[in-house]
Amino acid sequence: MFRQTPAFRLFLPVFLPVFLPVLMLAWSLVVTGPQWGAQSGIGRAAAQEADPGAAPGAAARPLVLRASPALIDSGFLAFLLPRFSLKTGIDITAQPIAGKDIVPTDIPAGADIALILRSAASTGGTIVITQKTNDGATRRYALVLADKVPPGARRFARWLTSPIGQRTIAQFRKDGRQPFAPPEKRPDTATTVIFTGNAQRGENLAYLNCGRCHVIGPRNRMAGIGSTPSFSALRALGNWRERFSTFFDRNPHPAVVVVNGLSRPRAEAQTTPMSPVVISRDEFKDILAFVAALEPADLGAPVAHQ
């Protein structure tokens, strides 16, 4: 043992009242920590997320997902749902839809969520999964939520339609092949505007009329106003067509440029001592054709946000 020195006898009465309760509290947390965490607000978070009507401290009610029997039999949901539960702590139980795969109602009774096979004629729900069958046909499954849906079900819907959820759908393999995929992206139907003016004449007009403020190209690369973007920089913007097609209405141009037949009458506040540049509609089209043929400037990669 050790010899009780006068210093030790003096320290012992001070140490026991202060540090012994701390040691006992630490030991109780080690022993009862898991039970305390399950009963605390932290432990109840997943339960309240899955079922907001659950009583505090009650076990989380698994969400009920009703799905087409073929979808369950494929093993796809057994692959998909645990990955969502592992990420969120929200359990989902998959149950088959009784009867036909294609059901007339939006969601089967007793379900929080449904993945329903949609026919070409039906439009309810959001298509979230497609399946290529052995005969080459495409089946589409729609996600439908109940009217009084728990927040956990909405979270599942957000996850399934997010890039992470869509990648998880594509990762499932059966017999070495990928039977399921995210829905096909719709082709971009936006109309591309084609400018039909004379680009050569437009280049000369741009140097003559716009080169006082803008750098147009190599011929005036040391000219222009420093705070004014060059034509090639403007050409690199995603909305360059709109910008150039309406430039005469964008400040400060209404005070210095008139496009016959397009420009609105100048307000008194927009008048300047200098004479405005006046161009015809045909000359305006020529300038647009020249801009369309310009090489966009390399503005670098977009700013990446962490």
Cα(97)–Cα(240) distance, integer angstroms: 52
Cα torsion 210, 214, 218, 221 to 10°: value is: 140
Enclosing domain of residue 130: 63-181
Question: If pLDDT is split at 50, 70 and 90, which confidence band does 286 have?
Answer: very high
Of the CA atoms within 13 Å of residue 230, those in its CB half-sphere come to 18
pLDDT at res. 13: 63
6 domain-assigned = no
- pLDDT exceeds 80 at position 144: yes
192 domain-assigned = no
Average pLDDT of 60-70? 84
- pLDDT exceeds 60 at position 121: no
Average pLDDT of 112-141? 78
Domain identity same for 169 and 69: yes
Q: Which of 107, 95, 109 minimizes the C-alpha distance to 142? A: 107
- Give the count of domains, the chain: 2
223 domain-assigned = yes
- Provide the percentage of residues in the chain whose pLDDT is more than 90: 29
* pLDDT tens, position by position, 250-278: 888 888 899 998 888 876 656 677 788 99
Domain identity same for 171 and 240: no
152 domain-assigned = yes
Poorest-pLDDT segment among 61-70, 118-127, 249-258: 118-127
Question: Who has greater pLDDT, 302 or 218?
Answer: 218
pLDDT at res. 193: 62
11 domain-assigned = no
pTM, rounded to two decimals: 0.45
- Name residues whose C-beta falls within 8 Å of residue 253's C-beta, 6 or more positions apart in sequence: 247
- Provide the percentage of residues in the chain whose pLDDT is more than 70: 68
